[in-house]
Every structure is written in C-alpha cells, then in structure tokens.
Chain A
C-alpha cells in the first residue's frame, strides 16, 4: 500500500483569510499595481494575440482558435461550453457551419482547451459584482464595470481565462466570435479558389462545403493548404444575420436537402451508449475508487475499521488499497462495486468541525434574518413603505426548502499521472477551477494538468463544483495507478450543494386604478453566488466559502429580477441568512424563488381584489409588448378559462434580463398550467396535466434545441415544484436515494405546448426561463382547483387533502366542502381588504 500523499490539501485547513495572505498571485500583483496607478499599463502590455489553442492533425490546418479544416474536408469546431444536454456541441458548430457554408455532415466538434482565446467577457461582466466584494475592493477605482464590452472587464476575462458554462451567457459571448472566425476561414478559402481561377474572391460563394464561381467549384478540403497561407481582410465580411428559426421547417435549409439539416451531433453516439461520460473512460491499468465523506461541517476523518472483522475489507475480491484524505476515505479496487463494498466494511467515522446542518437551524436562521436582519436594496422605484403602512395591504410569506439537482449521473472523474503530469477526464462547467484544484492537490504547476472535458449526464449546475478533481488526483497519486472515482448516489446527495433555502415576505397595496400601486418583497437567504465565487475563484472548501460569504448579499444581477410589472412604488430587498449549510447553484438559480413568490403573490392580490389574474397582470405591464404577447399567446394555446374557483388553470409570467445587459435583449415567458390533486388511489400528490407556454427568446438559432430547452425547462420546473427537496438529520441529508427526490416518471408527463415569438432581438439562452416560470403556474392552478393557497416550494400536499379514489359528484356540494383542505401548508388566500370606503394612507394618498 502506497502511503497517502503528503498532505496535499493542507492549504485547505487554514482559515480562508490566511490563504489569501502571503499567497502571491497575479491578482494580488494587479491590486498592488492599482494602488500605484500602474494597472492599466500592466494590462495593456499583456499579449492580446494568443497562440492558437487548437492542435491540428497531419492533414489539417487550424485557421484560428475556433476552426480546423482537413484535406478530407472535415471541419472541426472548438466548443468552449460543457455539453450537458443543452446542445452546446450542436449550437456552436451550427453557428460556425452556417457562416462558413459547410455541409452539416462534414462538421465535427472538439472541446476547447483552457485558453484566453475562449474567455467569456459576458460572464466576467455578470460576475464582476462578485470580484469587487472579494478581491477588488477598489473595483470602482479601476473602472471595472458590468459591461462586457468594457475594456478592463474583457481583459480580466482573458487574463483569468474565465471560461465557465453558467448563467446562459454562451450565445451572447461566443456567437459573434464564432461567426467572425468562420467568416475568416470562408474568406481565405474563397481567396485560394479565386487565385486558382484568376477571379475576384468576392464573386465566389461558399455553400455545402464547396467554393463556387459560376460553373467551377472546389471542395474546402482541396483548398486548405493554400488558404492556410493567406490572411483574411480585416474586418472579415459576414453573411447577413440568419433568420430566426421559429418553425421546425426553418431548422434547416430545405434547398440543400440533407446537407441543410442540423441534427444534434451528439445524438447518434448517445443512442447506442458509445458517448463517453467521465465514468466511461477506459485506459490501461485503470482501477476504481469509492469515497466516503462526513457531513458538510468541516468534517475530518476520525477513524475506520481497517482491520476489524478479521480484515474483512481487505479480503474483498479485487480490493487494492485505501487512501485517507482531508475529510474523506477512499477505497480502491478492480471494480467500482468492490471499492464500495470494502469502503462500507471499513465503516468510516467523521468528526465535524462545526455545528451540523439541521432543519430547525435553517428555519430559525431564515426567520431570525427576516425579523432582525439589515436589508440591502436589490431593486427600488420610489418608496412603497409609507403606502404599505395603511389599511388594505395584502401580505403573504413564501418558504423554499433546499433543493438538489437530481442528475442521473453522479459526480465522476478519471485521473492518470504520467511523467509528473496529470490528465483529468471530467465533466466540468468550470474547467479552469478544476485544473487549479487538481494542481493544488498534488502541489504541481497548473501547466502540468490537462483537463480533458467530457459531457455531463445532466448537471443542472451541479458540475460547477470541482471538489472531486482534488480527490481523484490525490487518489491517483497515492495509489500510483490511473484511477476512476465515481460518487455513490448517497455521496452525491451528501456532498451536493443545494439551491439555498429561502423565505420571501411580500406586501402589496392595490391603488385606485385597480392595479398594484405599492409592492415590497423581502428575501432572506444566504449569498449563494458569493459562496460559489469563493469556491471557484479562491479555491475555498464549501464550509470556508460559506463563512467568507457570511453576512453578505449577492449582487443584484444575480439575485433575480423584480416582478415584471410597472408598479409605481416598488422595493425588493434582501437580508443575508446564515443557515449553517453551504449552498450552491441549480438550473434557474436566483430567479426561481423571486418568480415563485411574485407570481403566486400577484395571483393572491388579484383574487383578494376580485380581479381576473390575466387581465390584472396585463393592466400592470406598462410598456412591455413582448411580455404582453407572451401572456396573450399562452392564453390562446391553453384556452385560458380565467382561472376562477373550480378551474384547474394557473398562470404565471416572467422576464429575464439579457446577460450582456442589452436593453433590447432578454427572455420573456408566460405559462399556463393545468393541475389538480391526484387521487389517493393513484398514489396521491399533484397531477399536472398540461403546461402551455408562449416564449420570446429573441432570434432563435436552432428551433429544436430551443424547444428541447423550453420543454425540458418546464418539466424541470415541475420537478422542482413537486420535489427535489432535501432536509438534514444529524447533519446528513435525509434523502439518500434518487427516488426520495420525487422526480416525475413517464406516467406523470403533462401535455406540453410551446409557441415562440417571431423576434429579431438578441438571442436569449432558453435553458432557465421555463424552469422558473412553471412552479408558480402550477401553484396558482392548484389554488384554482382546490381553493387552497400553496406557499412552499416544493409544494407539499398532505394525505388528508388528496381526493378520494371515487370523486364525489359535482352536485354533492357537502362532500366538496368536506374536501376543503385541512392541510398544514395550505392556507386560504389572504383576506380581501376589509374596507368599503376609500381610505387615506399615511402619505396622504387614497386607496380604493
């Protein structure tokens, strides 16, 4: 048995503040430089031309960071975002192929290496509020803005090689870069052909993989050697912007036949199981590792029964050895199952270093924050507070449980150390952070770590976490063989960093025009984005990151949007809550809770004032034609019946800001759900029979990918509305199995109808907007169907609320009344305003 590595993670044991101290990084140098006013010069002097990070094979040329073309005609496109089902390995190549004029069947993909060439300035700008709190206290002095075109933001993205698949920034960050790269290749190919034919290259066209001039044409592959020696003009001529693919038939170019259809490039290999996920990597000498961890409470490995039961663990067939790490124990064997079996027999015990996560503590922390915390303003228009001190105010409180991702794939990584260099196969949304974590674990330079990205089985932002990179690197080093570490389902849940639990209190007052005049909502929750930043950018453990973000509020852009209504007096604020559980990110992120609370609450206010939910919303839209069209569209698809009592329809709408901050961008959606309580015979729970959505995501690059993301997003939202919550018993997650997350099976699939707006606004990522809008639509539908208001997420239905197996006849009013909810979490709508005459408010204005 090889001894464990020499305290590879020892840096982690120090306090976070210590770590930042003597540790000299480029960042520290830049801050030091800023103090002396030299920062601009330093950045400006850094190279802006990077070596082409694509390595070309023998018979191909890498024309730039994005595109290679082989003599056989195969066009390879580098993809900087992790494929996790959203279709990045189809979407980005498609952008390049259309601009290039390639036949889709000649297009191949490869994951982009970690390089400044793929830095994402849109994400850098979006996350700039996070840097300013943690390491750039002087951000304002530096002029670091949240504008992706800002020079310093762009340079920061490049120097830090900020590449992460997050926040839906990919299209905004990379579409134009890809088009320019493809146009450059198309131009030099045309120039090479024009030279041969002695014509003007501007008169040549590129289509279906050929450069053509009148009756002459040549394959791309026949031109690459000459084209590689040519320099394209600057700027390169771009084709006209592609049309929005709002209809299935526009998904491809029918005139080109098979060449024009953009089928998912990853589908064929996924349908026969040959697509390699991280746990599918097979290399010579590979062995398998299982790890056990303690609770997320700075747990350290305390003891284990290496030799108990007569050394039973060591007698497991295939057992090879064990590795002790900071906070974990690993067993290594010739199969994953043998590794798990040996680990189980060793019965590892852990010693927590801080208070254990606990349901009661989470709840009291949220309640205490709400009662006593100092709020930070997130959005404000005028001051609603005076008006909200008067009579006629509607109030409600919403609570959100911690929820985890529910991926089918558990975290997995494969590591091989050869000649002092580490190769790391893993699905990661943050490859730079994964590389740094692995390098730190082994005490080797980052340049000696190669991250080989593989697709993720789901993720939903779970693969923004990189802790497994440290573990697998340390195990491979200790055991001296290539090793594959796969978390068991239980470890996946134990180590998952959940969407933070939260509480949102809402108050609103309806004004004389019958619309909401004053709105105040306050959210209590921990700063999940700041914690993520401390983990990814500063390399802290989850518990240390939680401590670093304690008492802080996430930047407004990452906190979710204000309600999408023209409410004259509006205040949304946030109080930080120290809940004692490290938290993370989950598809939909900061928008999930504000959307649920706001859209349920608008429904409550409408009902309390006797208004119909759709027209109530429309009356408050102000100048928002895109959201108006979504509401109208959804009502039409679903056959909106007004959502009155006895209906089973519920409505919700939402808008999300463009990640690059363009006012003409952004995403808009309206969703109508049909839902009711299931019969107790059918196992109970909530039955969602349909979800209808009208969506405006600007110009659509790929119709079917967008549709898959909206459909999948709505269903993921439904899963969040009805399950995926975790609780904590003795510091451990109670939900140990996938089944405990209550993911919907095929028998619970609703009918889904989606329509897209025909828009030429900047494309908006379709991945999250369906997730956030579905849950309130479902809760509002249940209100219509049952008369009860559901103010928790996930929605909890107690057995007494379930309809009996044989529902009573409609005429049987008495029986209906007996079914009125007596449930713990369900409550009647907030009382309607208890006055008839206009009431004067403290600020002198009148309420109806």
Chain B
C-alpha cells in the first residue's frame, strides 16, 4: 500500500509501490524542492524528514513509507521562517542552491534533536555534498540556527514567498501598490 502523510496531508500514490519516495514526491506530487542528484544516497539532495528523522528519499520506496509522516522542504516552514533557512541566507551559505534543500532538511532534523549540535556533531550527522564549496558556511549556518533556537541570537526574517507589490509597498517606499494609468503630470 502507498498511503501516507505528506506535509500534513493524507495521500495515496497510484504508482508502482517500488517507486522511490523521491520520484513520487517530484513527479506525482510536484514537490520539486526535493532534488535528484545521485540515486544511491551519496549526495543527500533528496533529504526529507520522515517521523522526525532525516531520510534520503531516493533510498526508500513509497511502500516502505506506508502510514508514516513525510515532511519536505516545501513544508518545513512554508514561509522561510525556519531558523536554519534564515541562517543559511544570513551566512551566505547558498551558491547554486541545488544541494540547499537537502542540507536544510538534514540540518533541521539534527537541530530538532539537538539545538546545541557543534561542528563535530554536524559533520557526523549531515553527510550531504556541496561541490560549490559552501561547506564551511553551511556548518556555521547550522550552528547559528541552533543558537537562534536556543534564543542566544536573533535572525532576520526572510521575505515570504509570493509577496505582491501591494504588500511590498508597505515596507519598501520605492514600490507603490497602485499601478496607475498613464497620466500627464500631476500637481
């Protein structure tokens, strides 16, 4: 059977039960934040959280996930407000961004267990790959997110997805909500 919960919604995938969770998420549920990089667990770009544990979604079939709770990057916070998302941006730990969702999911699962995780523990727990070379910054971002979760530090919030000019105009003076018709000069 292939019924389980994805991002708090109960779903059933009408696919071959052997289909790796990765491809069910990407191609059937259109949750494309979970990335394919290697197919054998080397890269960690497909990391999701299943019942609190970071799991490579290319290595589990949808049959094996039956009855469990799957969280993908799209629902980690929904509005980029998870401290690790904020810390990744604040530390400049994102270059091409392809590995980013996997790192965020692996780091978030670690911090949920232990917000005091230090460099060693992070390196042991988060075995993802980033060839762009953001690794040292990613370690710093996870440590910083941990401090924020322990209220040792505040992180700046990120713009939420899907802001329209009307909302932006409330914060940014250079943007106006209205899109006035062309007019000749106004007094």
Q: What residues of chain A have their CB less than 8 Å away from a CB belonging to chain B?
A: 59, 70-74, 83-87, 102-103, 105-106, 195-196, 208-210, 219-222, 225-226, 259, 263-264, 266-277, 279-280, 282, 288, 316-318, 334-338, 341, 405-410, 455-460, 486, 488-489, 704, 707-708, 711-716, 719, 737-739, 743-747, 749-752
Indicate if B146 sits at the interface (CB-CB under 8 A). no
**Contact A288 B27, beta carbon cutoff 8 Å:** yes
- Count of B interface residues, CB-CB < 8 Å: 81
Q: Are B165 and A752 in contact (CB under 8 A)?
A: no
Q: How far is the CA of A801 from the CA of B130 in the complex (A)?
A: 28
**Residues in A neighbouring B89, C-beta threshold 8 A:** 263-264, 267-268, 271
| A282-B122 in contact given A273-B74, A708-B92 (Cβ < 8 Å) | no
29 contacts between A and B (CB under 8 A): A72-B165, A72-B177, A73-B174, A85-B96, A103-B173, A105-B175, A106-B168, A195-B185, A222-B180, A259-B174, A267-B88, A267-B92, A268-B159, A271-B85, A271-B100, A274-B74, A279-B35, A335-B26, A409-B96, A489-B38, A704-B92, A708-B95, A712-B95, A716-B133, A739-B40, A744-B135, A747-B123, A749-B136, A752-B136
- List the B residue with the shortest CB-CB distance to A107: B174
> Cβ of B115 < 8 Å from any Cβ of A?
no
**A residues near B135, Cβ cutoff 8 Å:** 715, 744-746, 749
Interface residues of B (CB under 8 A from A): 15-16, 19-20, 22-24, 26-28, 30-40, 42-43, 45, 72-74, 76-77, 80, 85, 88-89, 92, 94-101, 104, 122-124, 126-139, 158-159, 161, 165, 168-169, 171-180, 182-186
- Shortest beta-carbon contacts, A-B, top 7: A273-B33, A209-B174, A457-B98, A270-B97, A712-B133, A85-B96, A715-B133
Cross-chain contact of B176 among A221, A317, A714, A738 (Cβ < 8 A): A221
Given contacts A195-B185, A746-B128, A746-B138, 16 further A-B contacts (CB under 8 A): A105-B171, A105-B172, A210-B173, A263-B89, A267-B89, A279-B26, A279-B36, A405-B131, A409-B96, A410-B36, A457-B96, A460-B131, A489-B39, A704-B92, A737-B38, A749-B136
Q: Is the CB of B96 within 8 A of A456?
A: yes
Cβ-defined contact, B92 with A264, below 8 A: yes
- B126 near A267 with CB under 8 A, answer no
Q: A221-B176, A458-B96, A749-B136 are contacts. A271–B158 as well, Cβ < 8 Å?
A: yes
Chain B hits for A707, CB < 8 A: 92
B94 engages A71 (CB within 8 Å): no
Please measure, in the bound complex, the distance between the C-alpha atom of A753 and the C-alpha atom of B155, giving whole angstroms. 24
The SS class assigned to the B binding surface is loop
Would A318 and B16 be within 8 Å (CB), given that A106-B175, A274-B33, A715-B133 are in contact? yes
The answer to whether A266 and B97 touch across the interface, beta carbons within 8 angstroms, is: yes
Partner of A712, one of B28, B34, B73, B132: B132
Chain A residues near B45: list those with CB within 8 A: 408
CB < 8 Å neighbour of B100 from A83, A270, A406? A270
A408 with B173, Cβ < 8 A, contacts A276-B32, A336-B27, A337-B23 known: no
A410 vs B35: C-alpha distance when bound (angstroms)? 10
Q: Are B174 and A105 in contact (CB under 8 A)?
A: yes
Asked whether, in the complex, the Cβ of A208 is within 8 Å of the Cβ of B173, the reply is yes
Asked whether A272 and B85 contact (CB < 8 A) given A335-B19, A409-B37, A746-B139, the answer is: yes
B139 shortest CB reach to chain A, Å: 6
| A458→B129 contact, CB < 8 A | no
Q: Which residues of A contact B34 (CB under 8 A)?
A: 273
Known A-B contacts A85-B132, A738-B38, A746-B127; the reply to A277 vs B98 at CB < 8 A is: yes
Q: Are B179 and A71 in contact (CB under 8 A)?
A: yes
Residues of chain A within 8 A (CB-CB) of B73 are 272-273
Question: Does A272 lie within 8 Å of B16, measured CB to CB?
Answer: no
B137: chain A residues at CB < 8 Å are: 708, 711
What is the CA–CA distance of A279 and B130 in the complex, to the nearest angstrom?
A: 19
Measured CA separation A406–B185 after assembly (Å): 57
Chain A residues near B72: list those with CB within 8 A: 273
How far apart sit A264 and B15, CA to CA, in the bound complex (Å)?
A: 39
Given the known A-B contacts A271-B80, A318-B15, A747-B124, are A455 and B99 also in contact in the complex, defined by CB atoms under 8 Å? no
Complex Cα gap A221–B135 (Å): 41
Query: CB < 8 Å: which of A102, A105, A106, A226 contacts B185?
Result: A226
Across the interface, do A264 and B94 meet the contact criterion of CB distance under 8 Å?
yes
In the bound complex, residues from chain B placing their C-beta under 8 Å from that of A274 are 33, 74, 161
